[in-house]
Structure 1
Amino acid sequence: MYQPFEYFLGFRYTRSRRKNHFISFISMTSMLGITVGVMALIVVMSVMNGFHKEIRERILGMASHATVTAFEGGLAEWPDAMRLAGEHPKVIGAAPYVEMQVMTVRGESVSGAVIRGIDPSMEAQVSDVGEHMKSGSLETLSAGDYSIVLGSELALKLGVTVGDKVTVVAPTSMVTPVGTMPRLKRFTVSGLFEVGMGEYDSGVGIVHIKDAAKLARLGESVTGVRLKVEDLFEAQQISRELAESLPNLYYVSDWSDHHRNFFRALKMEKRMVGLLLALIVLVAAFNIVSMMVMVVTEKQSDIAILRTLGASSRSILKIFIVQGAAIGVLGVVLGVILGVLLALNVESIVDTFERMFNLQFIDPDLYYISKLPSDLHWDDVVMTAVVAFIITLAATLYPAFRASGIQPAEALRYE
């Protein structure tokens, strides 16, 4: 099979033994550096994707994908809003809710919280909080019983458990013979939940929607309607479509509006970590530069002979670009293979190390998870491989241009 001599010589130089063993050492170090850099990038980005996925799922276990509310006051026509929103083909669940800021009191313990009124029969359509119950269940909530399900950390702050009483102080007021007083209501703790996010576990209480509406003096109105969509990443587009189709009496928002800064910070964090880890590949690329410069110096007589035989400067340039690129490609391929294997098995590998050395890499009391999550995205793998290859290819240009500029007479003068 025909092969241009530039490629043949380039690969031959890559495989040949060096007179100077230090060059071979630097060549191997450069390849290993690229391998380690690519592998580390893939593994770390996969782990960060896993953390982001866990956080997103925990947040959206309580927060809705989208909400429909009134521009002012309560939403009185919520059945119509549910019906109209449900007509969208990508809306798969809808449920009314009532929400307000309150103070929860138990003896001398006081804590601010958000009271969310739900319909227990419909809540499973829009959230999975029912799957995170530590004790009790959402079905224990019934209208008129004034039962409450608390986040585990909120219950710990108040020092209560199932069966205890909690006083809820609502922001609405009532007029009494002694003056205006805040509305107080005693609720019985009927369950505890833990979704793994401090924002919710330490600051949310769930009650029946009719009890919450009565406490907030909304009558038959609700705060809004929570929606669940097929693909949460399309929630923003679906919200726009719903806003256009629903009458002007309704305001539609999505989960990214409420958590935009948080998820933007996570995305920026991933980019910065990726940039820092890319420095490993950059350092390996500098090693390629130094190695190629020494190879060019060592091969000056070979270059001169090739030039006298008719090889052009462009051919010499191609030879050394092929040699450097071969090292880069080998390092990138090995890094991708090892990185993908590690990313797919990082949970079991960490678990094995924990058992072998009796260690605990992740404290579940601090991070709410007991295992290192990993979520491999192939677009991250492709981007990492392409960027690493471009960096290594760019590193070969200076030595290759230097080789192409060698003059035969100067190179052979002292031979």
Structure 2
Amino acid sequence: MTLPYEIFVGLRYLRAKRRTRTISFNTFISITGITLGVAALIGTLGIMTGFKEDMQAKILGTTSHVVVQERGHQTMAGYTDLVTKVEAVPGVIAATPYIFKQVLLTSKTGVQGIILRGIDPAKEPDVTEVADNVKHGNLNDLANPPAVTKDDGSLATPQPGIILGKELALRLGLFVGNSVNVVSPVGPISALGMTPKIRPFQVVGIFESGMYEYDSSLAYISLQEAQKFFGLGHTVTGIQVKVTEVFAANAIASRIDDALGLGYSARDWMELNRNLFSALKLEKTMMFLLLVLITLVASFNIVGTLTMIVNEKQREIAILKAMGATPKAIMRIFMLNGLVIGLTGTIIGIPLGYTFLYLIENYWTFDQTVYYISHIPVHVQGLDVLLVACSAILISFAATVYPSWQAAKLAPVSALRYE
């Protein structure tokens, strides 16, 4: 099988002028530009995808996949039967009730407004990873707080347990075993108006989720203590649900809506964090478009290289035409040049991008106490690599159109007149 002569001629034009097997300097510059553009695109997209997935994992470690609430009401009654109905929905792993309120925490060193969540310590590990995030103490101590020894050596009556975020505990100067006051602005009404409700709680644990927003403004108490403290009786704020497939949470939430009826609303984690993930997606898209400019700049090198080759090879092009080469064949010669440059740059750029990410992930470390991460999270998606490769090759090929057209329309008589 013989290859078309256009391939041999095109590859010959990419070599240096001297009779060597090395490529010309202009070809080298064009390939380098495509290589750096592809490597930069893969590196940036891999880092941004890694950050997105790391943030997603931290959010899902603290919050549930789906949240069910009663429409038009701040509380939900009859939640035991509702939990049973929700757990019967296909795709649901577990469900548990929760209470969600805003309160103030006061200690000897400060005051902080926070979100207080009432949870069932026995069932919470089935829905979230809060138990794994508790670094000091134990989640089960919420229901059975350990006794605290007084200064005189006697045991004090245990107070209801509370688990604080790491940053919140540091801000209030609290440790496991200390006491903190929980203040609810909504309390009993007296002659002077509504008076705040205050109750001391014992710190039985400190959790670290990896997200500053959670660690600085979130605390947990048991569901029963939350019902007593807020006077909710046998009602809760809602039901949190864990599903089999996190990216199918929207479809499973729709099934929960159908199972519970119009009086209830189920929202998935992507809807609850829509603004955050929309911003991350937009940022990734814009970074991709901006970095494509690197490849576009490299494509101008291809245009310049091929234009110079056309000017230098006018005599050879004229001879080829005189021997019977068609304009389309001449165009194929120079389009092949651009395609070879694009393919070569892409083939070298992909492993270079992976190498860059490997070095970033394994050798660039951070102080975790400052940045909340010890290293940059990295994850390269196959679709991103395919998109980058196709974009680079397409841009490289498009850059060959004008020089190839110029070569194809060259008249043999004009090129050979002064030879």
Q: Determine which of 163, 168, 172 is the counterpart of 1:149.
A: 163
Is contact 1:103-1:112 (8 Å) kept?
yes
SS at match of 2:349: helix
Deviations 1:289-321 (A, max 9, x none): 101100010110111001111111111001100
Please tell me the residue identity of whatever aligns with 2:60. Answer: L
Equivalence for 1:408: 412
1:386-405 aligned at under 5 Å gives the runs 386-405=390-409
Is contact 1:304-1:408 (8 Å) kept?
yes
Equivalence for 1:305: 319
Q: Determine which of 381, 389, 396 is the counterpart of 1:385.
A: 389
1:182-193 aligned at under 5 Å gives the runs 182-193=196-207
Distance 1:240 1:303 in 2: 66
SS at match of 1:226: strand
| Alpha-carbon offset, residue 180 of structure 1 | 2.9
Deviations 1:174-209 (A, max 9, x none): 134665311111111111011111111000010000
| Alpha-carbon offset, residue 108 of structure 1 | 5.3
Equivalence for 1:30: 30
| Alpha-carbon offset, residue 376 of structure 1 | 1.4
Equivalence for 1:84: 85
Distance 2:337 2:165 in 1: 61
Please tell me the residue identity of whatever aligns with 2:416. Answer: L
Distance 1:180 1:9 in 2: 91
Q: Determine which of 170, 175, 178 is the counterpart of 2:184.
A: 170
Stretches of structure 1 lacking an aligned partner (at least 5 in a row): 352-360
Distance 1:197 1:187 in 2: 24
Is contact 2:141-2:161 (8 Å) kept?
yes
Distance 1:189 1:108 in 2: 15
SS at match of 1:406: coil
Equivalence for 1:135: 136
* Residue 279, structure 1, aligned to residue 261, structure 2: no
Is contact 1:78-1:222 (8 Å) kept?
yes
C-alpha RMSD of matched pairs (Å): 2.0
* Residue 198, structure 1, aligned to residue 202, structure 2: no
Distance 1:343 1:371 in 2: 12
Task: Report which stretch shifted further, 339-348 or 397-406.
Answer: 339-348
* Residue 211, structure 1, aligned to residue 215, structure 2: no
| Alpha-carbon offset, residue 52 of structure 1 | 1.1
* TM value normalised by structure 2: 0.92
1:17-166 aligned at under 5 Å gives the runs 17-18=16-17, 24-71=24-71, 72-107=73-108, 109-142=110-143, 145-166=159-180
| Matched pairs, number | 404
Equivalence for 2:257: 243
Distance 2:376 2:109 in 1: 39
SS at match of 2:399: helix
| Alpha-carbon offset, residue 79 of structure 1 | 1.7
Distance 1:304 1:19 in 2: 21
Please tell me the residue identity of whatever aligns with 1:137. Answer: N
Is contact 1:51-1:374 (8 Å) kept?
yes
Distance 1:135 1:108, change over 3 A: closer
Please tell me the residue identity of whatever aligns with 2:32. Answer: L
| Alpha-carbon offset, residue 362 of structure 1 | 2.8
Stretches of structure 2 lacking an aligned partner (at least 5 in a row): 145-157
Distance 2:67 2:177 in 1: 33
Please tell me the residue identity of whatever aligns with 2:88. Answer: E
SS at match of 1:172: coil
Distance 2:116 2:27 in 1: 64
Is contact 1:152-1:202 (8 Å) kept?
yes
Is contact 1:114-1:204 (8 Å) kept?
yes
SS at match of 2:235: coil
Deviations 1:317-356 (A, max 9, x none): 01100011111111111111222344356422x25xxxxx
Equivalence for 1:11: 11
Distance 1:376 1:160 in 2: 41
Distance 1:246 1:7 in 2: 67
| Alpha-carbon offset, residue 102 of structure 1 | 0.6
Equivalence for 1:365: 369
Distance 1:292 1:306 in 2: 17
Distance 2:244 2:8 in 1: 54
Please tell me the residue identity of whatever aligns with 2:104. Answer: M
* Residue 181, structure 1, aligned to residue 186, structure 2: no
Distance 2:45 2:217 in 1: 31
* Residue 266, structure 1, aligned to residue 266, structure 2: no
Equivalence for 2:147: none
Please tell me the residue identity of whatever aligns with 2:321. Answer: R
| Alpha-carbon offset, residue 244 of structure 1 | 2.1
